[in-house]
């Protein structure tokens, strides 16, 4: 169970009416200074099972794709974006526009700027402190079409027994909240 904690937040910005209905979710930019592993980083997972590490940015991108699809957007498949971008995360909205334009990705590009992700406490968190910004960018003009900010505040992760489960629950809640202004779920 995830509970979002409110705290002096402005209402989310309404998107423009002429927003493209096709979106390419680019790999998130991670400003936190750490790799933020969710799964696949233990010795057993890496060597015995040859599991690719999954990180919080991976989960955020996956949740963004799901949330956009639920809201009626056509989402460029992850493998198409990965191949076109070389899985390179853009460091800014301008870089996101440039990457999407050079890769000839359809529609708008979703840029996720992860600024803070701190589980508290770090082993069995009751909350995850999150700060991130999402922006829809027009690749042809490099213009920001819409943006929303989850300003630094906690996401409660009640009932989650592991750090990975808390990370996944918090990512789902935050992406659902920041993308909610783009329309109702279908």
Q: Which of 76, 170, 166, 174 is nearest to 134 (CA)?
A: 174
Domain range for 47: 20-180
What does the CA dihedral 163, 59, 117, 96 come to, rounded to 10 degrees? 170
Average pLDDT over every residue of 69-81: 96
> 171: domain CATH number?
3.40.50.10610
Q: Is residue 25 part of a domain?
A: yes
pTM beyond 0.85, yes or no? yes
pLDDT by residue (tens digit) across 121-154? 777 778 999 999 999 999 999 999 999 999 999 9
Q: Is residue 39 part of a domain?
A: yes
How many structural domains comprise the chain?
Answer: 1
Question: What does the DSSP 8-state code read for residue 103?
Answer: T
Distance CA 166, CA 93 (A): 28
Q: Is residue 33 part of a domain?
A: yes
Q: Do the strands 3-4 and 143-156 form a parallel or antiparallel pair, or are they unpaired?
A: antiparallel
Q: Is residue 133 part of a domain?
A: yes
Q: Is residue 73 part of a domain?
A: yes
């Amino acid at each position: 169970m995830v509970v979002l904690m409110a705290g002096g937040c402005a209402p989310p910005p309404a998107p423009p009416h002429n927003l493209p209905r096709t979106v390419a979710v680019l790999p998130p930019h991670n400003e936190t200074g750490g790799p933020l592993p969710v799964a696949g980083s233990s010795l057993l997972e890496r060597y015995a099972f040859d599991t690719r590490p999954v990180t919080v940015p991976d989960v955020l991108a996956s949740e963004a794709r799901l949330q956009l699809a639920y809201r009626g957007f056509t989402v460029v498949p992850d493998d198409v974006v990965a191949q076109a971008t070389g899985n390179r995360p853009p460091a800014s909205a301008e870089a996101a526009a440039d990457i999407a334009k050079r890769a000839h990705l359809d529609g708008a590009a979703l840029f996720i700027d992860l600024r803070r992700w701190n589980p508290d406490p770090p082993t069995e968190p009751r909350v995850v402190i999150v700060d991130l910004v999402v922006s829809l960018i027009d690749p042809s003009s490099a213009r920001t079409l819409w943006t929303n900010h989850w300003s630094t505040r906690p996401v409660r992760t009640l009932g989650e027994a592991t750090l990975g489960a808390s990370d996944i629950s918090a990512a789902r809640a935050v992406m659902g909240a920041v993308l909610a202004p783009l329309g109702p779920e279908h």
